[in-house]
């Protein structure tokens, strides 16, 4: 049986960044094996719903490491290689092909999988989901000659895909179950800003709607809504959320609860096995709660963290949750966790695309949204959330520098 010192189960973003960090830390040739169900070497996923989907980026430009990197550093990447199970006690993985491979240390980074529609007609042609490069290519190809698209969902994937399709000149309708866009994250005023922005760029928004059926012969031709309306379309893209991929480790002995349960060192309940990225339900030491984050920066930071841990470092993982998105000509960023906020402060003008929003809990900053603002606001966001900075809401609302809002703890 082939044996590796280090193994990464999953060849996505965690794997790409962990491999890079291990190499920078002097890992020897032949020590790392990456097992990936995907058919491409690790790539950045955010462009799949932005520049890659729009045709401005290609396969090569979104790779995390160049193709030669893996060969040059003696890293074996097994593509189209699906892991069926992990035997944590024997330290082996069992491949779908029947082969067994051994490891000394393992990082589980299987990511997340898209939730799919279960309504009648969901299996028709031209119904798409977006997780992999292959998915993005299929949507891009279909969008080449589609005239009308229905995008299901009101979160960031649906927002990004709608923006790209609308910019391709496709008549795009967003079908949103909630009463406003990205309700889970945005304040009502922020949702209103984005809804107006989308409407002004030709995207039609149908809110508070439930779908009953996708209709068509072999390919989808329309979406039927609960209120009797139908939305005609040549393609449907559903961005209705993801769930962690835990099936391959189901009988491994690792604790599973909304992902793989890891401690603040990203260690699973089995010694020698870490989990990272979208699949990891970790102990967040900053907010003192369990959290599973489905975002880029988390995958990058946890991949790098695990590489350092394999190299012998042991310091708790501490990280401000972070997310970014690009839609139309806007780019915005979001830090922290607003769940327990008791006050929300807006800065700038929410009728323009330059504003920031700050969530406070007992005057301390716990989350921030920043779009087209001076750099000092971006810099303050992470620093303040990390240090639990107390601020004056009145001063933060004003026009002077954000640093003027800092208060010493009372
Ligand atoms: C279209 C899209 C756009 C995004 N845009 C943004 C954005 O703008 N901002 C942001 O912050 N985040 C964004 N994200 C989220 C970000 O890309 C993810 O958080 C990140 O990819 C998670 O990395 P990961 O390594 O945990 O999982 P993934 O990158 O999903 O990698 C998981 C890997 O595991 C493999 N795998 C799964 N099961 C098996 C198995 N049984 N055997 C072998 N291999 C297996 C998969 O094939 C894949 O290679 C986006 C995600 C998508 C899909």
User: By CB neighbour count within 10 A (0-12 exposed, 13-18 middle, 19+ buried), where does 353 fall?
Assistant: middle
CA dist 243 and 182 (Å) reads: 18
Q: Can you tell me which residue has the tokens 């997310």? A: 323
Q: Both 253 and 156 in a single domain?
A: no
- So what's the pLDDT on residue 138? 98
Q: How confident is the model at residue 1 (pLDDT cuts 50, 70, 90)?
A: confident
- So what's the pLDDT on residue 410? 63
Q: Which of 212, 238, 264 is the last residue of a domain?
A: 238
Structural domain harbouring 229: 116-238
Q: Both 139 and 228 in a single domain?
A: yes
With CA atoms as reference, report the closest residue to 272 among 110, 112, 102.
102
Ligand 1 lined by 65 (C-beta under 6 Å): no
Count of domains for the chain = 3
Q: Which of 183, 214, 238 is the last residue of a domain?
A: 238
Q: Both 285 and 353 in a single domain?
A: no
CA dist 286 and 294 (Å) reads: 18
**Neighbour count for residue 290 (Cβ, 10 Å):** 14
- So what's the pLDDT on residue 290? 97
Q: Both 45 and 102 in a single domain?
A: yes
CA angle 108, 113, 118 (to 5 degrees): 150
Q: To which H or E segment does residue 221 belong?
A: strand 220-225
The DSSP annotation for 231-285 comes to: EE-SEEEE---EEE--GGGTTSS--BSSSEE--TT-B-SSTTEEE-GGGEEEEET
Ligand 1 nearest atom to the CA of residue 303, by list position: 25
The DSSP annotation for 337-371 comes to: --TT-SEEEEEEETTTTEEEEEEEETTEEEEEEEE
The DSSP annotation for 386-401 comes to: HHT-EE-HHHHHSSS-
Looking at residues 15-24, what average pLDDT do you find?
98
Q: Both 134 and 226 in a single domain?
A: yes
pTM of the model: 0.97
User: Is residue 323 in a domain?
Assistant: no
User: Is residue 324 in a domain?
Assistant: no
Q: How confident is the model at residue 245 (pLDDT cuts 50, 70, 90)?
A: very high
Q: Both 122 and 264 in a single domain?
A: no
Q: How confident is the model at residue 68 (pLDDT cuts 50, 70, 90)?
A: very high
Looking at residues 71-97, what average pLDDT do you find?
97
Q: Which residue's CA is the closest to the ligand 1 atom numbered 27?
A: 111
Look at residue 409 and tell me whether its pLDDT is greater than 80.
Answer: no
Ligand 1 lined by 45 (C-beta under 6 Å): yes
Q: Both 48 and 188 in a single domain?
A: no
Q: Both 64 and 93 in a single domain?
A: yes
Ligand 1 nearest atom to the CA of residue 298, by list position: 19
Ligand 1 lined by 295 (C-beta under 6 Å): yes
User: Is residue 94 in a domain?
Assistant: yes
Percentage with pLDDT > 90 across the chain: 99
Ligand 1 lined by 301 (C-beta under 6 Å): no
Q: Which residue's CA is the closest to the ligand 1 atom numbered 9?
A: 324
Q: Both 255 and 283 in a single domain?
A: yes
CA dist 32 and 23 (Å) reads: 10
- So what's the pLDDT on residue 323? 97
Ligand 1 lined by 49 (C-beta under 6 Å): yes
Ligand 1 lined by 292 (C-beta under 6 Å): no
Residue 132 DSSP symbol:
S
Q: pLDDT for 176-186, tens place per residue?
A: 999 999 999 99
User: Considering only 9-13, 74-78, 237-241, 405-409, which range has the smallest mean pLDDT?
Assistant: 405-409
Q: Both 25 and 48 in a single domain?
A: yes
Question: Residue 359's beta-bridge partner residues?
Answer: 344, 367
Can you give the CATH number for the domain in which 108 is found?
3.50.50.60
User: Is residue 176 in a domain?
Assistant: yes
Ligand 1 lined by 10 (C-beta under 6 Å): yes
Q: Cα(227) to centroid of ligand 1, in Å? A: 35
Cβ 50 vs Cβ 151: under 8 Å: no
Ligand 1 lined by 44 (C-beta under 6 Å): no
User: Is residue 37 in a domain?
Assistant: yes
Q: Cα(52) to centroid of ligand 1, in Å? A: 15
User: Is residue 319 in a domain?
Assistant: no
Ligand 1 nearest atom to the CA of residue 302, by list position: 26
> Which of 40, 46, 84, 330 has the most ligand 1 atoms within 8 A of CB, as the residue to mutate?
46
User: Is residue 402 in a domain?
Assistant: yes
Q: Both 17 and 50 in a single domain?
A: yes
Q: Cα(37) to centroid of ligand 1, in Å? A: 12
Looking at residues 57-85, what average pLDDT do you find?
98
Looking at residues 227-239, what average pLDDT do you find?
97
Q: Which of 191, 217, 238 is the last residue of a domain?
A: 238
Q: To which H or E segment does residue 32 belong?
A: strand 32-35
Q: Both 357 and 299 in a single domain?
A: no
Ligand 1 lined by 348 (C-beta under 6 Å): no
CA dist 278 and 138 (Å) reads: 24
Ligand 1 lined by 131 (C-beta under 6 Å): yes
Can you give the CATH number for the domain in which 392 is found?
3.30.390.30
Q: pLDDT for 154-168, tens place per residue?
A: 999 999 999 999 999
User: Is residue 296 in a domain?
Assistant: yes
């Amino acid at each position: 049986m082939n044996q590796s010192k280090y193994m990464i189960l999953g060849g996505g973003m965690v794997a790409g960044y962990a491999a890079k960090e291990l190499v920078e830390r002097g890992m020897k040739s032949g020590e790392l094996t990456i097992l990936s169900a995907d058919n491409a070497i690790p790539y950045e996923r955010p462009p799949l719903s932005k520049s890659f989907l729009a045709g401005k980026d290609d396969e090569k430009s979104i790779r995390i490491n160049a193709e030669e990197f893996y060969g040059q550093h003696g890293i074996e990447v097994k593509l189209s290689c699906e892991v069926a199970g992990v035997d944590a006690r024997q330290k082996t993985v069992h491949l779908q092909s029947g082969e067994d491979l051994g490891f000394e240390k393992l990082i589980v980074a299987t990511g997340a999988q898209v939730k799919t529609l279960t309504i009648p007609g969901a299996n028709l042609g031209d119904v798409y989901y977006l997780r992999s490069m292959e998915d993005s290519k299929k949507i891009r190809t279909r969008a080449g000659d589609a005239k009308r698209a229905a995008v299901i969902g009101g979160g960031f994937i649906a927002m990004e895909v709608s923006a790209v399709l609308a910019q391709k000149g496709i008549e795009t309708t967003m079908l949103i179950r909630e009463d406003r866009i990205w309700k889970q994250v945005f304040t009502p005023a922020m949702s209103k800003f984005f809804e107006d922005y989308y409407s002004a760029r030709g995207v039609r928004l149908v809110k508070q709607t439930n779908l009953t059926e996708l209709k068509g012969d072999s390919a989808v031709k329309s979406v039927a809504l609960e209120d009797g309306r139908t939305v005609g379309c040549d393609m449907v893209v559903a961005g209705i959320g993801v769930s962690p991929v835990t099936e391959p480790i189901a009988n491994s002995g690792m604790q599973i609860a909304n992902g793989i349960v890891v401690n603040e060192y990203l260690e699973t309940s089995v010694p020698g096995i870490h989990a990272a990225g979208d699949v990891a339900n970790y102990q967040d030491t900053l907010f003192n709660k369990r959290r599973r984050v489905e975002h880029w920066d988390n995958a990058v930071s946890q991949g790098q963290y695990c590489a350092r841990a394999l190299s012998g470092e042991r310091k708790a993982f501490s990280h401000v949750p972070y997310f970014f998105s690009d839609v139309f000509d806007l780019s915005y960023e979001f830090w922290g966790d607003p769940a327990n906020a008791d006050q929300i402060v807006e800065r700038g003008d929410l009728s323009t695309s330059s504003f920031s929003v700050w969530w406070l809990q007992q005057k301390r900053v716990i989350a921030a949204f920043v779009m087209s603002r001076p750099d000092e606001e971006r810099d303050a966001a992470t620093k303040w959330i990390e240090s639990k900075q107390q601020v004056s809401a009145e001063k933060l609302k004003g026009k002077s520098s954000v640093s003027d809002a800092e208060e010493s703890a009372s």
